[in-house]
Amino acid sequence: AEGAEGAGRVRSGPAELCELGVTELVGAGRFFCRRATGGDRAAALHSQLQTLSPNASRVGFEPRTGASVAGRFTGDDEWYRAVVVSVQGGRGTVDEAYVVHYRDFGNGERLSRERLAPLAPELVSAPPLAHLCVLSHVAFAKGDRVHDAEALFASLVSGDGAVDARIDRRFPAPDAPWDPDASPEWHVTLGGDPGGTRDGSLAEGCAADDQSVNAAMVAAGLARVDRRSARDPVAAHLVDAQERARRERRGMWEYGDVDSDDDEEERPKAPGAWGRRR
């Protein structure tokens, strides 16, 4: 397991095999994703939102920080569910703007007031489709190597299709998933053959390219096995990848062993103040 810290908040249940689509990257090993099986629900939400008119009456509409609204995304001029993260400038001034977080994708942007609209109650109450996630069982390189770690992670999850995945642990969704200190809702093994070999390692006959994203990060020396997971059988393939990276002096191992006390890694935060449901 990934340690007792925060264990009182973890949701019980076995690991879940599923298909996930990555919708937004937050950093190395940290991302938003959606279930591939939620396509019909996503399409229905999107269709309902597009009935909004840009010229609809906004009498009494006062978007405040924390309010659920409809936001008209500047990338395609279509409406999406959003939360107002912050309000900038004074009401009616040229500096007035609203920073929003799109609930069903995980991305955000700065919008003018004209690109916001009230959201129907049933759309406010429907749970978000995007979940804040982190790669399971690994801690990520930081310092001088953080940009390399972010670039590799982005290259490994690029593409529009869903990938096979395993949700290893679940926590309550954070109140403010856009916050840099928000604790991830799901700890995930992405890609590889998460169901074929129970431990997530390569199944017989699988090519090395079929390893999980978690293992690829570790094998490159840009992540290491979280010390709390090192003895967990499910992380055995990650320990093997780490030993290869250490022997070949890759990434953080370039100058030899990384001492357990070195400030070379950043592991996922256990649920804290933000670890409550929206």
Look at the block and give the residue holding tokens 């129970």.
198
For the domain made up of 17-37+128-266, give the CATH fold. Answer: OB fold (Dihydrolipoamide Acetyltransferase, E2P) (2.40.50)
- pLDDT, one tens digit per residue, over 174-196 is 999 999 999 999 999 999 876 55
pLDDT of residue 91: 80
Q: Model confidence at 99, in pLDDT bands (50, 70, 90)?
A: very high
Helix residue spans in 109-235 (DSSP H): 121-125, 146-157, 213-219
Question: What is the distance between the alpha carbons of residues 84 and 111, in angstroms, rounded to a whole number?
Answer: 10
Strands, E, within the chain: which ranges? Answer: 16-27, 30-35, 68-72, 79-88, 97-102, 108-111, 116-117, 131-135, 138-141, 163-170, 186-190, 223-225, 265-266
Q: Model confidence at 257, in pLDDT bands (50, 70, 90)?
A: confident
Q: Find the range with the poorest average confidence among 35-39, 222-226, 259-263.
A: 259-263
pLDDT of residue 89: 86
Q: Find the range with the poorest average confidence among 33-42, 84-93, 269-278.
A: 269-278
For the domain made up of 40-53+61-125, give the CATH fold. Answer: SH3 type barrels. (2.30.30)
Every domain of the chain and the residues it spans: 17-37+128-266, 40-53+61-125
Full DSSP string of 8-19 = GGSBPS--EEEE
